[in-house]
Amino acid sequence: MNETLTQRIKIQQSESSRVHEVDFNNLQFGRIFGDHMFEQVYENGSWGEPVIKPYGSIEINPAMNVFHYGQAVFEGMKAFYQDENTINLFRLDEHHARFNRSCRRMCIPETEFETFVTALEELLRLDKNWVPKQMGTAFYIRPFIFASEDYLAARISDRYNYYIITSPVGAYYAEGFNPVSLSTPKGYVRAVVGGTGEAKTSGNYAASFLPAREAQQKGFTQVLWLDAKENKYIEEVGTMNIHFLINDTLVTPELTGSVLAGITRKSVMELAADWGYKVEERRISIDEVFETSKSGELKEVFGSGTAAVISPVGLIEHNGETIHIGSGSIGDFAQRLFDEITGIQYGKLEDKHGWVHSVKV
């Protein structure tokens, strides 16, 4: 993209490739990693030389700040195989903007967009054979930064390590759409307004594991988070945002400060508006969901996120009451969104919004 920047990223190519170890017909999420990774270290007040080098272990010191105080952010995005010469990155400007917003909230130095784009392009070129080809598969990209100063003090670190690692992932819906079941948690909240809920920071996820495990032990797939103050308004689900189709209106919980601003969420709302649906971004209470379900106005409920794109919701439990949505599969509206978004990602449908950054490899 930018020659000076491309030259600035020092590339150490791996001597051999591990790609032959990959069983592309049986890919698991996040278990095997591309041959190369990006690395940049921040110290003495600035980011150092960006490097792409063979994927491998990194040296850590037990006193590293991140292990004790959790100053860390990450992103999750995907690249898609279009043809032999083209790999598509989806909404990378949005991902980078969110990455920097997360950094700001966590007092981590922001990163340059040009370095991010160039690093991704170079990683895709170097590891193009790692990008799975079948429809539904993708090349997952995980940028992350953590506080790496070796200092046992609860204060902003002076040193940070920034990496981008990659992983080929299988089709999420290889066996068809299985609607998920959700349960509102008792006695737990995910995030409060003014807290860190809208940042993609590691601690948010650690804090959600116990309520998620308890929901799973009761037979539900995931937790449906309500707002922390009134325990009434719907926020989001695990690693997805949530949407409700009430009659012909798409209702999406608004970004109050405690919800992660999902990029798939944004795409869903933009497409629904394109198609002439009424799109409302507002507070929606769990009571409204139950009432519209009982009155027959609640047509579809689905989650949105990079991992699954669209995830149909078939059941919601709240205070011992349960509603069932749909008929055990994906609704027509959710299916249309899934087809449109994935079609754009694989370069099969016209990209009217300029969401795709195609990389020639």
Ligand X SMILES: Cc1ncc(COP(=O)(O)O)c(C=O)c1O
Task: Fill in the amino acid letter for 27.
Answer: L
Which tokens sit at 327?
């008929």
Residue 236 within binding range of ligand X, rule CB under 6 A: yes
- Which one of the spans 32-40, 115-123, 278-286, 299-307 is the region binding ligand X (CB under 6 A)? 299-307
Instruction: Compare residues 82 and 258 and give the one whose CB is closer to ligand X.
Output: 258
d(C-alpha 113, C-alpha 50), whole Å? 13
Measured CA to CA, the distance from residue 21 to residue 130 in angstroms comes to 11
Task: From 178-186, 301-309, 314-322, 338-346, give the range in contact with ligand X by CB under 6 A.
Answer: 301-309
Q: Which CB atom, from 293 or from 304, has the smaller least distance to ligand X? A: 304
Report 246-285 residues binding ligand X (CB under 6 A): 260, 262-265
Q: Is 287 exposed, middle or buried (0-12, 13-18, 19+ CB in 10 A)?
A: exposed
Q: Does residue 157 belong to the site contacting ligand X (CB under 6 A)?
A: no
227 contributes a contact to ligand X by CB under 6 A: no
Rank residues 167 and 241 by Cβ distance to ligand X and give the closer one: 241
Concatenating the DSSP letter of every residue in 33-97 gives: --SEEEEEEEETTEE---EEEE-------TTBHHHHH--EEE--EEEEEEETTEEEEESHHHHHH
Contact mark string toward ligand X, 75..94, x via CB under 6 A: -x------------------
Could you tell me how many helices (H) and strands (E) the chain has, helices first?
8, 19
Which residue from 34, 50, 132, 305 is in contact with ligand X, where contact means CB under 6 A? 305
Q: How far apart are CA 91 and CA 265, in angstroms?
A: 12
Using alpha carbons, select from 26, 297, 296, 66 the residue that is nearest to residue 168. Answer: 26
Q: Write each residue from 21 to 60 as x if it is in contact with ligand X (CB under 6 A), else as -, in one continuous string.
A: ----------------------------------------
Interface residue list for ligand X (CB under 6 A): 76, 236, 239-241, 260, 262-265, 304-306
